[in-house]
Amino acid sequence: MALADPQLHPEGTLLDGFKVVELANYVAGPAAAGIMAEWGAEVIKVEPPGGDPLRWLRADAPGGHSPAFEIINRGKLCIELDTNSDLGREALQRLVAEADVFITNIRPASLTKAKLDWPSLQAINPRLIYASFTGYGLSGPDANTPAFDNAAFWARTGMADVTRPEGSDPFSIRQGSGDHTSALAMALGIVTALLARDRGGGGRLVEASLLRTGTYVMGGEFANHVRFGEVVRTQSRDRAPNPLNNFFKSKDGRWFFCMPRAVTVDWHRICVVAGVLDVVDDPLFATPQARAANSAELIARLDAGFAAMAFDDIAERLIAADIVWSPVQDLAQLLSDPQAAAAGCFVEIEDGAGGRFPATAPPIRFDGQETQRKRVVAKLGQHTEIILARLGLSAARLES
């Protein structure tokens, strides 16, 4: 029985023919499965009675579900199952028996109790790629500790500590940032395991955690700490160790960021752009060490120079000088940024209420794979009946 809508998953997409079963909620696990759906896999999202809790966060949006839910669950087939019941587990096991990938971020103890852990499902499908997503990993004293990215990815890995300016309180990571970063790692792991399997290997367990991904992201800071004992926290802009590696504001109130590459060449170029050539030969700023020691004064001089110019003039000068720089944009400016559009940063989603809206695209684009498929967010349990029929189970039997 044909199940997937060919407009959702057209033939010829990269993962056409691969079947993914997702038993996951909130962000990290569903985001990894969502990337695979974008790449053409058939993804069946299994939700408990009442649905993924994220589905109802800000559900007053058009379409009746959360905008945060929509961006990671578009293009999926959705089935509602009570996996605490024998029949619900049986249905899920039948799904897994014909799947290539099983993705879950349910806590390990709960999966073992329900016989949905790796050994149990491997026995059903030896070719299965079992993708386990956790907060803290599958072993150790905190393996079953609940986690979100603010905790395991941000706070525990040291990111929350090093990003706060000296003397200030820690602050939270933005919504889902650690989850989406970790989802990319999981998607890479799954696709690599599929490649190995289809080259003659068998199924395997693929494990990712918020803690491990966050620790990897902190690799540079961690390496410096191990080698030199350093703990370098973010500084306020007036105390930046490299005054040129900083944020500045134009006459018309727009912020932008500069990041010099060469110690001497870009130093001179940025001073030219800012119109403060008098500082180049000032003994206070003669060396990188002197500039760091007199950071506040140099920043004040640069601030005065940039504050005398309009943003468009500054942008033109920075581009001509080949300086690494960027405007500081708000989200509305990002949405209208022609470069973001050209880079493929956005796709359109159907909201389920007759409208369409832009949403973020996966960060990887493949040549020749820009399809015109619909990106629709399924209603809770929308595909339950047809999926159960394909498995040889009637809806009436499950409802019983």
Which CATH number is 86's domain given? Answer: 3.40.50.10540
* Three-class secondary structure assignment of 52-92: CHHHHCCCCCCCCCCHHHHHHHCCCEEEECCCCCHHHHHHH
Cα separation, 44 vs 23, in Å, equals: 9
d(CA 236, CA 246): 10
Residues 247 and 124 in one domain: no
In whole angstroms, give the CA distance from residue 143 to residue 137: 6
**Cα Dmax for the chain:** 85
State the pLDDT at residue 10.
58
- C-alpha angle 6-10-13 in degrees, rounded to nearest 5: 155
Residue 129's DSSP bridge partners are 101, 204
Residues 129 and 194 in one domain: yes
300, 330, 360 — which closes off a domain? 330
Into how many domains does the chain fold? Answer: 2
Give me 335's structure tokens: 């949405």
Structural domain including 266 reads 237-330
Sheet holding 204-209, edge to edge: 77-80, 42-47, 19-23, 101-104, 129-134, 204-209
- Both 196 and 154 in one domain: the answer is yes
Question: Alpha-carbon distance 135 to 140, whole Å?
Answer: 12
> Residue 13: which residues within 8 A CB-CB, separation 6 or more?
39, 40, 369, 371, 373
The CB density around residue 303, as the number of other CB atoms within 10 Å, is 17
- Tens of pLDDT, residue by residue, the chain (400 residues): 345 555 556 555 789 899 999 999 999 999 999 999 999 999 999 999 999 999 988 877 666 678 889 899 999 999 999 998 888 899 999 999 999 999 999 999 999 999 999 999 999 999 999 999 999 999 999 999 999 999 999 999 999 999 998 888 999 999 899 999 999 999 999 999 999 999 998 999 999 999 999 999 999 888 888 998 888 888 888 888 889 999 999 999 999 999 998 767 799 999 999 999 999 889 999 888 899 899 999 999 999 999 999 999 999 999 999 999 999 999 999 999 999 999 999 988 887 677 788 889 988 888 766 655 567 889 899 999 899 888 888 667 766 6
Query: Does residue 261 sit in the same domain as residue 318?
Result: yes
* Residue 6 lies inside a defined structural domain of this protein: no
Question: What pLDDT, on a 0 to 100 scale, did the predictor assign at position 229?
Answer: 87
CB 193 within 8 A of CB 123: no
Angle at 90 between CA 22 and CA 392, to 5 degrees: 95
- What whole-number distance in Å separates Cα of residue 236 and Cα of residue 281? 26
Task: Quote the pLDDT of residue 195.
Answer: 96
Residue 5 in domain: no
Give me the pLDDT at residue 81, please: 93
Q: What was the pLDDT predicted at 146? A: 93
Planar angle of CA 128, 33, 391, nearest 5 degrees: 55
Compute how many other C-beta atoms are within 10 angstroms of the C-beta atom of residue 3: 14
* Contact of 66 with 60, CB cutoff 8 Å: no
pLDDT of residue 2: 44
- Give the bridge partners for 343, in sequence order: none
Q: Are residues 33 and 180 part of one domain?
A: yes
**CATH number of the domain bearing residue 312:** 3.30.1540.10
Q: What proportions of the chain, in percent to the nearest 5, are helix, strand and coil?
A: 40, 15, 45
Q: Which of 312-335 are b and which e, b meaning 16 or more Cβ less than 10 Å from the residue's Cβ?
A: eebbebbeeeebebebeeeeeeee
Angle at 152 between CA 151 and CA 154, to 5 degrees: 70
- Phi, psi (deg, nearest 5) at residue 126: -65, -20
Residue ranges in 349-399 assigned as alpha helix (H): 384-391, 395-399
Report if residue 14 sits inside a domain. no
The amino acid occupying position 311 is F
Q: Are residues 163 and 190 in the same domain?
A: yes
- Mapped onto helix, strand or coil, the DSSP state of residue 99 is coil
